[in-house]
Structure 1
Amino acid sequence: MKNLNILYKKIEVFFFRKSTDSEFLSFFRIAVGLTILLHFLSILADFEKFFSSQSIVPQDIMNVFTPDWMITFPKVVGYFQALGISEYHVILFTKIAFISLCIFIITGFYSRISSFFLLLIQIILLKGSSFFVYGADFFTSMSLFYLILFPSDTHFSIRNFLFKRNNENINITPVKRLFQLHISIAYFFSGLDKVLGFNWWNGESIWKAIHLPYSNRDLNIDFSLLADHSYILIIIGWSTIIIEMLYPFFIWNIKTQRIWLLLTISMHLGIAIVLNLYYFSAIMIIWNMTNFYFEREQIRVQKKTTIPINRKLNPY
């Protein structure tokens, strides 16, 4: 019974201990809002090619893979067209709303409400264009979901500047722990999925990835050397597996947290540079920094403030 009480106390402290750390909230809000905005601006000129009735892949084909009950952008356009509003004006309003909501999130003007409506628009756009969706879009949705859960506009925000509120009673630890467990589980099963096959063992997956049509377009790195030194591909493959599978075990340990955070961020920088997946890499680096970089900084600050007190109590 005593052991159960100790375990319950540890779980309670882990999930509900009140934290004074708030820097990560501002960082997460601004970084996610800015990244989503830049990504949207990068496809703004081609918006109609992805989401309009004149899209590269006809809407009739994409609707085959979309349930009838799901609200998609073509259905929204059709609804407003029935009211006499043209597709052009619906698309124009969607663009303005998307950009405006991103700016509201970045500046901290009712970021929870802004994140909710932005998430709604994003889901409507992506669910009706499943051919253009990839992993980064799902992490975008999850990022907006966490911005809804977090009181991210309570610090360093326009809302806090205009409407002064007492934020000391807000406990953000439960949501932060959920976020940290989420990313830990995601990395572990990503690594587990890689280790169950053989393509990552022999470097085949790395070789295929660097020769994809969209890869290595910016720097045009010559990878012909790897054909004669395949062991490098094997090392990279196993390094990826190790970093991901052991992420939950080493990222929570304060002694190894810094090196594992550095390894993980380096992995995503490599993905960005070689595979040109800048948006995906940016989102994942933001997740890592939000969850573990600022927590380490808080522990470091706490140690600095508690050591002098302990010395006064026990000078020997």
Structure 2
Amino acid sequence: MLVCGVLAGGGALVRPAAAAPQPAAHAVPATSADDIGRLADSPAQLLAYIQAASRNQDYEGVFMYQQGENTQSSRMVHVVDASGERERVETLDGQPRIYLRHNDDVQYLQPDRKIVRRDSRHTVRFPGLLQRGPAQVLGHYKLKVLDRLNREAGRECRVVLLEPRDALRYGLRLCVDTQTGLLLKEQTLDSARRIVEQVSFSSVRLGKDVDPARVDSSWDTGDWKVLQPSMKPIDLLAQGWRIAMPEGFKAILEVARQIGPASGGAPHVVSQMVLSDGLVAISLFIEPYDASRHRHPPAGPIRHGAINIYGRRVAGYWLTALGEVPIVTLERLANSARYIAKPPAGAAH
């Protein structure tokens, strides 16, 4: 299945995210006041504050990812030193998977297979929030800071809502630490405000209570196989594709990937476009149609909690749209795609 092949290197990823420029880092002030409440009248500053809190302070803890009846727990350590950001995330359920990041240098470790997958693109992860700058987000979401305070992981947090302005997006309910601005809990809500997915810290330590040594890998990977992603920039428009973006989404990445076979067969090249509205991301994968490979998933929608998938055949290609958005958004994107074949070289006009 294409989606599994592309995401297989993710290991400890809790959700798909776009490789995107990060908002500029700003120091997170140490306060004893509720800065979340104070910034309630300045939505852009509040979003920037939450994002900066995930990047510019030391913290470690265990977080739980829940989707329906499925849960996954992971341990995270994040430290900031003279060399920049360093982060380690390790799954605590099933086979161990370790995510290591030093600024934009990323490694995914699979100890059971002695494999290291390298990447040079930092993706947005919990407790990070923004794919792009706050201004783009607020064009499509309304931000509300509620009066009530909650407690998560033993810490007081303020409830913040990001409500979509249309039916193309899910909403988010956040609980933000009142002392530091760190995101402690994130819930994805459908149009009826039902929770379709959530990720939250069950325990967390901050500041001087964090041991920087815990960010290092405990595995000796000297003799492991290192896999480097095979990607190159492409221009889908120049290749003959005409794709209408859902309202508010912009293309932020277009690449060709070489995907290894899931079971037998030869590797094949997949084109990928990543779109974002500033808060969430959508990936559109395009590959030559193969009847034996594209029986699963079938054409049409597949729902998996907040992550939806929509497949469709266009000319001699198979398109797969994937993202944490309502299925109508993926359907609109995939059904807008048209392929205009180029005339053969030297053909008469």
The normalised TM-score by structure 1 is 0.22
Q: Indicate the structure whose relative CO is greater, using CA pairs within 8 Å and at least 6 residues apart.
A: 1
Higher fraction of strand: 2
Higher gyration radius (CA): 1
Higher fraction of helix: 1
